[in-house]
Amino acid sequence: MSGKRQNPPTVRLRRLAAELRLLRSAAQLTREEVTERTGVNGVTLYRIEKARARPQKRTLLALMDLYGASATQRADLLAVQSGSHDQGWLRPYHSELPEEYTAYIGFEAEARSVRNYESLFVPGLAQTERYARAVIKGVLPTASQREVEQRVRARIERQAVLTKPNPLQLWAIMDEAAVRRMVGGREVMVEQARHLAQLAEEPHVTLQLIPFDKGAHAGMTGSFVHMDFPDAQDPELVYVDTPAGDLFLESETEIRRYKSMFEHLQAVALDMDDSVKLLDSVAGQRD
């Protein structure tokens, strides 16, 4: 039997589906209860929450009314819904939004594996609390203490994906600059280097460092994250953090380009054992 091939859901549609699932869960409602109270067909609701169907605006409004969505959430979800057919997504940065509500964290929580290259930072999933606090204060110098602590808490909570029963597969490559830069002071960086070395012992984590003496390499253009997902209908994503906002890429051409870039970085980086030796050296030099 032949049939029309269904296009995979776009990154925006997937994010909309995830946010609606979270809102329904927060409202402590079953799908059956939502159907009874809104009149939205149960099959339709299921398809919306699985990113298999784009909700009509009136349906989205009815769901947000029932779930008690805030004004900010309503505006955000309506904007996502209006462009849900488009590939790619530059999500504007809003300093007033806490980090735990950003789209990236939602995708990371759903991912099967993450390949992360960082040129200047230790990857968020591998940061200690003190390093994370120092980084956030440095990158966001105008943030209030409350905002800093909110973001630190969100960053540390994200790391639960590495300790859950079926943990995220993390492959992180860092330029040596990420562990040499004195973020938060000597004591903080010794703790961070040792944490990285300990994390490298986990079977689902691979850490590699690119030493300074390797010279120029493909990652010098900037950091990025490549994610894939358990559901075959959810395409791979590439995430790039820019000053303008969160950039999500999903075209096959972009995915191939970043996968190739990561392969080049794997080849130029030290292997796991030598990377851990470099981390031990960094920690020892700072004791």
The CATH number linked to 77 is 1.10.260.40
Q: Are 125 and 170 in contact (CB under 8 A)?
A: yes
Cα separation of the two ends of the chain: 68
Look at strands 113-118 and 89-92 and give their pairing.
unpaired
CB-hemisphere CA count at 13 Å for 163? Answer: 8
Residues 159, 61 share a domain: no
Rounded CA separation 49/45 (Å)? 6
pLDDT of residue 6: 47
Q: Are 3 and 75 in contact (CB under 8 A)?
A: no
Q: Which helix (H) or strand (E) holds 38?
A: helix 31-38
Q: Are 206 and 167 in contact (CB under 8 A)?
A: no
Residues 79, 163 share a domain: no
Cβ neighbours of residue 45 closer than 8 Å, sequence gap 6 or more: 31, 34, 35
Residues 108, 142 share a domain: yes
Residues 233, 127 share a domain: yes
φ/ψ of 204, rounded to 5, equals: -95, 10
Residues 119, 19 share a domain: no
Residues 252, 118 share a domain: yes
Identify the CATH number of the domain in which residue 176 sits. 3.30.870
Residues 94, 82 share a domain: no
Closest CA to 271 of 209, 205, 180, 193: 209
Domain holding 140, by residue range, is: 90-286
Last residue of a domain, one of 60, 86, 112: 86
Rounded CA separation 57/81 (Å)? 8
Tens of pLDDT, residue by residue, the chain (287 residues): 334 334 555 777 787 888 898 899 999 999 999 999 999 988 889 888 888 788 888 999 999 999 999 988 888 888 777 754 554 444 555 444 444 346 788 788 889 999 999 999 999 999 999 999 999 999 999 999 999 998 899 899 999 999 999 999 999 999 999 999 999 999 999 999 999 999 999 999 999 999 999 999 999 999 999 999 887 767 788 999 887 777 888 888 999 999 999 999 999 999 999 999 999 998 887 65
Rounded CA separation 123/115 (Å)? 10
pLDDT of residue 85: 52
Tokens 């040596």 map to which residue?
A: 176
Residues 180, 105 share a domain: yes
Residues 121, 230 share a domain: yes
The conformational region for residue 245 under phi > 0 = left, psi -120 to 50 = alpha, else beta, is left
The pTM assigned to this predicted structure is 0.73
Residues 269, 160 share a domain: yes
Burial of 58 (0-12, 13-18, 19+ CB in 10 A): exposed
Last residue of a domain, one of 53, 68, 86: 86
Residues 62, 166 share a domain: no
pLDDT of residue 18: 82
- Split into its structural domains, the chain has a count of 2
- Is 4 contained in some domain? no
* Residue type at 220 in one-letter notation: M
